[in-house]
């Protein structure tokens, strides 16, 4: 007898001995009074065996056949061997028309040795923070470097913007590395689609915050753009503080990698073209409704030309008496200013777009200029997150460059420590 039948036997004996009424027995067993009466009749006729379910040991009517099980497991082995049961069930339904639960497939995969259950780590206790009530109030941002193409292409970084109130992916973009340019370009596409959020929540990487103690209070290029757009920057003290985007990165490194594989995508341009449709399906699957239906996004106040200047790299230079300034080994001179006495010593904002275009601003107005002298561009400064992309770019340039042996007195050799007398 099952434990359920044993419990029924004890109650039925009390009903027969009239120590418990039928409606009381129904409450104890969670049955209707009518069903208790049926059990009582079967108990009087068959004894304890009458309380055992007639369906015990029988195959359920909705059970899947062995042939279907073998077909499904064959598809899993050939196409979804490294998929988790939940994602595999979704793909079996979308691509092959099989309707079954994730738990059923999990048990099948575990029995066949296709899937090994993951051992759960002991949970670390962190103080939970409630979600923001409105969409667009707080957007968590992060970069996720990963082998997204599984060796079919170079490693890339996925820039992720996720809403705190809904867990909705608001922006996704593949970039060669986690750089200021990658975040600024992602933010600009975000603004064109959603508008301005109230605040962006990031870590304390050098892209978002100047971490040198002697330069405290200075703004990075990204934070300067946020201030101009009236978007509040917030920096998390620990990764757990922005756990929503961290968990999203883990999910994306599983699901998005497999989606790119199924779609046959192995380059960054095709991947970025694929992301809008993936984001739509992801949000339909994982996004939740906000507590407040009000959207906190605000309209963008700047026009396209102004946004071009905001999303550029800006530096400040002081004009000389000849109305010239130095920037990245180039000497610029203003033109069309007459004698230009009023601009001598003026503070000029140099705006360099990512395509190399330079605009000189004074009090918000562009100034005409000419280049007097031009030297070699300075060597860029990289950190641990962008060094690999720089090396890959150098390899590509060197592979496609024609073989060329510079002369001993080539300009790039100037400045060497050896003197002519040392070679005599």
pLDDT in tens, 78-126: 999 889 899 999 999 999 988 889 998 999 898 888 888 777 666 665 6
From start to end of 319-357, where are the E strands? 324-327, 330-334, 347-352
> Is there a contact between 102 and 86 (Cβ–Cβ < 8 Å)?
yes
User: What letter does residue 323 receive in the DSSP assignment?
Assistant: S
**Reported confidence tier of residue 238, pLDDT bands at 50, 70, 90:** confident
**Residues 161-201 pLDDT 10s:** 999 999 999 999 999 999 999 999 999 999 999 999 999 99
Per-residue tokens: 43:
């108990």
Angle CA(84)–CA(88)–CA(91) in degrees, nearest 5?
Answer: 150
**Reported confidence tier of residue 409, pLDDT bands at 50, 70, 90:** low
Distance, CA of 209 to CA of 154 (rounded, Å): 28
Longest dimension (CA), the chain: 123
Q: Parallel, antiparallel, or unpaired for β 324-327 and 313-318?
A: unpaired
How much is the pTM?
0.74
State in Å, rounded, how far the first CA of the chain is from the last one: 105
**Reported confidence tier of residue 69, pLDDT bands at 50, 70, 90:** confident
SS (H, E, C) 123-188: CCCCCCCCCCCEECCEEEEEEEEECCCCCCCCCEEEEEEEECCCCCEEEEEEECCCCHHHHHHHHH
Per-residue tokens: 423:
């070679």
């Amino acid at each position: 007898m099952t434990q359920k039948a044993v419990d029924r036997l004890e109650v039925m004996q009390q009903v027969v001995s009239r120590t418990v009424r039928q409606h009381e027995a129904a409450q104890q067993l969670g049955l209707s009074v009518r069903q208790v009466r049926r059990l009582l009749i079967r108990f009087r006729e068959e004894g304890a065996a009458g309380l055992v379910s007639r369906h015990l040991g029988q195959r359920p009517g909705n059970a899947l056949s062995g042939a279907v099980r073998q077909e499904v497991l064959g598809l899993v082995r050939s196409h979804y061997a490294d998929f988790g049961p939940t994602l595999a069930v979704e793909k079996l339904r979308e691509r092959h028309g099989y309707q079954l639960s994730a738990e059923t497939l999990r048990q099948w995969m575990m029995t066949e040795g296709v899937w090994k259950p993951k051992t759960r780590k002991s949970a670390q206790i962190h103080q939970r923070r409630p979600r923001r009530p409105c969409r667009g109030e707080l957007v968590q941002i992060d970069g996720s470097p990963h082998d997204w193409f599984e060796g079919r292409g170079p490693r890339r970084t996925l820039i992720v913007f996720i809403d705190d109130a809904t867990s909705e992916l608001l922006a996704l973009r593949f970039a060669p590395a986690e750089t200021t340019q990658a975040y600024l370009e992602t933010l600009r596409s975000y603004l064109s689609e959603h508008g301005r959020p109230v605040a962006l929540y990031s870590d304390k990487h050098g892209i978002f915050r100047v971490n040198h103690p002697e330069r405290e209070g200075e703004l990075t290029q990204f934070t300067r753009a946020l201030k101009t757009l009236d978007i509040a920057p917030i920096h998390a003290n620990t990764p757990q503080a922005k756990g929503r985007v961290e968990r999203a990165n883990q999910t994306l490194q599983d699901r998005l990698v497999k989606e790119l594989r199924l779609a046959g995508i192995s380059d960054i341009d095709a991947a970025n073209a694929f992301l809008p449709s993936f984001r739509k399906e992801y949000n339909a699957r994982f996004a939740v409704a906000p507590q407040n239906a009000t959207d906190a996004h605000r309209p963008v106040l700047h026009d396209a030309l102004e946004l071009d200047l905001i999303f550029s790299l800006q530096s400040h230079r002081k004009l000389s008496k000849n109305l010239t300034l130095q920037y990245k080994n180039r000497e610029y001179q203003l033109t069309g200013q007459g004698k230009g006495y009023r601009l001598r010593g003026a503070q000029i904002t140099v705006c360099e777009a990512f395509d190399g275009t330079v605009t000189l601003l004074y009090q918000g107005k562009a100034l005409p200029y000419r280049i007097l002298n031009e030297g070699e561009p300075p060597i860029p400064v990289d950190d641990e997150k962008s060094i690999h992309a720089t090396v890959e770019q150098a390899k590509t340039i060197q592979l496609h460059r024609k073989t060329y042996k510079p002369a001993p007195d080539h300009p790039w050799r100037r400045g060497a420590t050896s003197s002519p007398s040392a070679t005599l």
